[in-house]
Structure formats: C-alpha cells, structure tokens
Amino acid sequence: MPDFTILHIDHIVLRVSDLERSLAFYRDVLGCPVNRRREDLGMIHLSAGSHLIDLVAVDGPLGSKGGPAPGRQGHNLDHLCLRIEPFDAQALADYLGAAKVRVEPAETRYGAEGEGLSLYCFDPDGNRVELKGPSATSNTVRPE
C-alpha cells in the first residue's frame, strides 16, 4: 500500500433533479455559500465548513453520465453528515419544519468525534442529511 494518510473528506457530489431547488436548500436553508459555479458542467460547488458539497444537475453534461435521477427507489447515497454548532434539536426541528423540510427526531448517533445527538432531514431530492452536534464522548476516530 502507498504511504499516505486520509485527512478528511474533501467533497461530496450529489446528482440532483432541480439544481436551483437544491441550491435553495443547501444555500438558503443550511447556509452553505456558493464557492463556484460551473455552468459548462451543470455543477455548483458549495462550501460546507472547510469542505465542499457539489450539486450536479442530472440532466447536465456531467450528471447525465450517472443514469436516471435519484428517487424513492434509488438514491445517490445513504446520507451525508454535517457537523454543526450550536446544536439545539428543538430549534433545528422548528426551523427546518418552518422551511417545509422533512425532519426526523434527534437521536444519539456515532460519528467521527464519538457519540452525540444528531437529526436527519431530507433535501429536495430525498437525500438524507444528518445535522450532528458535539460529541458527548471523546472517542474521536484515529488511524491505526
């Protein structure tokens, strides 16, 4: 095996059926600013902390290579997790509900920093987005 260490996830790419609708969710609801637009590819790069979420139109030059749009029977991924602060489960649920975003109750889940509360919500294409608060434990994942 080559000698390298994975530092973090650099970006995630989501194929979306309506680029502007998804942009409104990730930018306006979740607060991810536009980093760069690539009209030639049908792609928008959004900043998520020091990482990127890329939105690709399924009917665009890049997105059409991936087949049909995601739907109830076929998804792009299980979920993506965004670590947020502060984390107030009720305030988040109220905010997302007011924005007409489907949201599930907060639960304790395991992540890179250990066990902590998070909640799932869903973007306009049905992709599950986990909003995760701080860890209640100090079991940070470390390379072996």
The answer as to whether 30 is a domain residue is: yes
The answer as to whether 122 is a domain residue is: yes
The answer as to whether 37 is a domain residue is: yes
Q: What is the CATH number of the domain that holds 101?
A: 3.10.180.10
The answer as to whether 143 is a domain residue is: no
- pTM here is 0.77
Q: Mind listing the pLDDT tens digit for each residue in 19-76?
A: 999 999 999 999 999 999 999 999 999 999 989 999 999 888 887 777 777 666 666 6
The answer as to whether 1 is a domain residue is: no
Number of domains in the chain: 1
Q: Mind listing the pLDDT tens digit for each residue in 79-138?
A: 899 999 999 999 999 999 999 999 999 999 988 888 999 999 999 988 889 999 999 865
Beta strands 107-111 and 43-48, pairing class: unpaired
Q: What is the pLDDT of residue 75?
A: 64
The answer as to whether 142 is a domain residue is: no
Q: What is the pLDDT of residue 24?
A: 97
Q: Which domain holds residue 79?
A: 11-132
Give the residue-averaged pLDDT of 8-23: 91
The answer as to whether 6 is a domain residue is: no
Q: What is the pLDDT of residue 83?
A: 92
The answer as to whether 5 is a domain residue is: no
